[in-house]
Structure 1
């Protein structure tokens, strides 16, 4: 963990702006899935910030996995992360299994010290943080 003066950075990989293009996300969140998921994520990010964590989101595009991994890897290299969160929209869809594996491999090789955590939706990122860092949530 970082010092009390610095936030604990968490990189969060989710469908984000690409959620409306994903049939499962659209089924769950409606035709405006991208907007709804961003709205829910913003609430979770605010809760995390209040607890001393800074969540930085990285939108995953299943339609362009190479670009996704390039952007995600650049984020991983940009700072020290206490954790990387992978959202359910990526890991819970069998069509995204290869991309999910590539994301985990990027974490393992670039930031092996970062804890890997999993949220069950954009509104549960803070829930995943509390579950994995109960002693650090202020």
Structure 2
């Protein structure tokens, strides 16, 4: 019996909930992300995450570009609130253009919340 994890096919890009400034509790978001990522294992699909902070401690372009260049991706899911807040529109555009540049063959998907990340990817992977 093969006990190794499947090779990652999906990259999930989003905010690290513990490094988003503000007076809020990141734990519910982190818990929902774990639930969503567990669904990949349930379906035998490999997944990796690329999470970055909004606390100024990350060079977002470098972090995302490195993750995208790490391997060929079948699908890249942009979630974690990257596309929703209007004040992050420039960041969202930057992420999409990095995907286009560094993973041109990958499908791009969007989740509606952390628990449906697998569903977003499943629309595009075989």
CA distance in 1: counterparts of 2:102 and 2:57, whole angstroms: 18
| CA displacement at 1:13 relative to structure 2 | 1.0
| CA displacement at 1:131 relative to structure 2 | 2.8
| Matching of residue 71 in structure 1 with residue 71 in structure 2 | no
| Matching of residue 92 in structure 1 with residue 92 in structure 2 | no
CA spacing shift, 1:66–1:44, aligned 2, 3 Å: closer
| CA displacement at 1:132 relative to structure 2 | 2.8
- Which residue does 2:118 correspond to in 1? 126
Residues 63-113 of structure 1, C-alpha deviations (whole Å, 9 max, x = no match): 449711101100111111111110151101111111111111111011100
Structure-1-length-normalised TM-score: 0.76
- Which residue does 2:25 correspond to in 1? 32
State which drifts further: 64-73 or 43-52. 64-73
CA distance in 1: counterparts of 2:13 and 2:63, whole angstroms: 11
| CA displacement at 1:58 relative to structure 2 | 1.3
Confirm or deny: 8 A CA contact 2:19 2:54 kept in the other structure: no
What value does the CA root-mean-square deviation take over the aligned residues? 2.3
Residues 19-54 of structure 1, C-alpha deviations (whole Å, 9 max, x = no match): 6426xxx7xxxx212x22221111111111221222
Which structure carries more helix by proportion?
Answer: 1
Confirm or deny: 8 A CA contact 2:20 2:54 kept in the other structure: no
Confirm or deny: 8 A CA contact 1:18 1:59 kept in the other structure: no
How many equivalent residue pairs? Answer: 122
Q: Any unmatched runs of 5+ in structure 1?
A: none
Confirm or deny: 8 A CA contact 1:65 1:99 kept in the other structure: no
| Matching of residue 10 in structure 1 with residue 10 in structure 2 | yes
Structure-2-length-normalised TM-score: 0.82
Q: Any unmatched runs of 5+ in structure 2?
A: none
